[in-house]
Chains A and B, each alone.
Chain A
Amino acid sequence: MTTTTVLWAATVALLASVPVVHAATPDCRQLVAGESYACTLVTASKAQPFKLTFDATGRTAQGLASDFSCFCSSTGSKLEALENEAGRGITCIDTISDTVAIVLSARATGRKLTQGSIAQILSTGADASLLDCNRID
Chain B
Amino acid sequence: MNRLDTIAKYVKYSSLALVAAATVATAAPARADSCQRAAAGRQFVCESTSQELRQFTVEFGDNHRVAGVFGGAMDCFCSSTGTVARPRIEGGPGITCVATLSADDAIVLNARFQGNRILQGTVAVIRPDGPFTDPFVCTPVQK
- Write the residues of chain A forming the contact surface with B, with a CB cutoff of 8 angstroms: 40, 42-44, 47, 59, 69-79, 82-85, 87, 89, 91, 93, 95-101, 103, 105-107, 115-117, 119, 121, 123-126, 128-132
Contact = CB atoms under 8 A, between A and B. Distances in A.
B137 A73 contact: no
B90 A117 contact: yes
A129 B83 CA distance: 12
Interface string B5-30: 00000000000000011001100100
Q: Is the interface of A mostly helix, strand, loop or mixed?
A: strand
Interface residues of B, number: 53
Interface in B78-125: 78-84, 87-90, 92, 94, 96, 98, 100-106, 108, 110-112, 117, 119-122, 124
B135 A91 contact: no
A126 B109 CA distance: 14
Interface of B: 20-21, 24-25, 28, 47-49, 65-66, 75-84, 87-90, 92, 94, 96, 98, 100-106, 108, 110-112, 117, 119-122, 124, 126, 130-131, 133-137
25 contacts: A69-B126, A69-B130, A71-B122, A73-B120, A74-B136, A75-B135, A79-B47, A82-B49, A82-B136, A89-B94, A91-B110, A95-B101, A95-B105, A96-B103, A103-B98, A106-B79, A115-B94, A117-B77, A117-B89, A119-B77, A124-B24, A128-B90, A130-B80, A130-B82, A132-B84
Given A84-B134, A105-B110, A123-B20, A91 B122 contact: yes
Nearest to B115: A77
Contacts of A123: 20
A85 B133 contact: yes
